Amino acid sequence: MAKRLKKNLMGSTAAPPPSGLPSSTDDEQDIAVNATSGPTSSPEFQTTDPRPRARRRHDAPPPTGPPPRRRFLSYFDLQQRGIRYSRVHLRRLENAGMFPAHVDLGAGDNTQTAKAWIEEEIDAWQEARIAARDARIAKRLAQGRPSDPLAAEGGGGR
């Protein structure tokens, strides 16, 4: 077998296989050359750092418009949405982390300032309550119990 060097598309040379080993055909070498020749395989596009590149501020997509406006809900708005807790009970729930915290609308540290709740947080709280109810019903049904405990007793009427 003659010793010859074959140039690939990248300009590097490949040595022939050592004697005694089967040599690859020209088609196999062309496939190997084409698999390594591409725009990302050239040395100027390759990095030596295996870590992924950190996301930079300019990589983020630009904002598509003004930020969404938040809407405040007053105590009376909460009642209109079906949350008919007293102000004291709302404060207890807030302190226990079971209800979204209010926002003081007044200036200073006056305790008599107007309070409001952010609409998105109230909506999320209501959705969480509905999801918890649905999970309880699904658990009862999985255990073979009726979803409505009063229905099993005959309607729950007086």
Q: How many CB atoms lie within 10 A of CB 102?
A: 20
pLDDT at 17: 55
Give Rg (Cα) of the chain. Answer: 35
pLDDT at 69: 82
pLDDT at 131: 97
Using alpha carbons only, what angle is made at residue 67 by residues 62 and 72, rounded to the nearest 5 degrees?
165
Alpha-carbon separation of residue 90 from 51, 74, 97, 108 (angstroms): 49, 12, 10, 22
Per-residue pLDDT of the chain (158 residues; tens, 9 = 90+): 444 444 444 455 555 555 555 555 555 554 544 444 445 555 555 556 566 666 565 566 666 777 778 899 999 999 999 999 999 999 999 999 999 999 988 876 666 788 999 999 999 999 999 999 999 999 989 988 876 666 666 555 55
pLDDT at 123: 96
- Alpha carbon distance 23, 139 (integer Å): 67
Contact, 114 vs 100, CB < 8 A? Answer: no
pLDDT at 67: 73
Helix (H, G, I), strand (E, B) or coil at 115: strand
pLDDT at 26: 52
- Alpha carbon distance 152, 145 (integer Å): 9
The single-letter DSSP state of residue 44 is: G
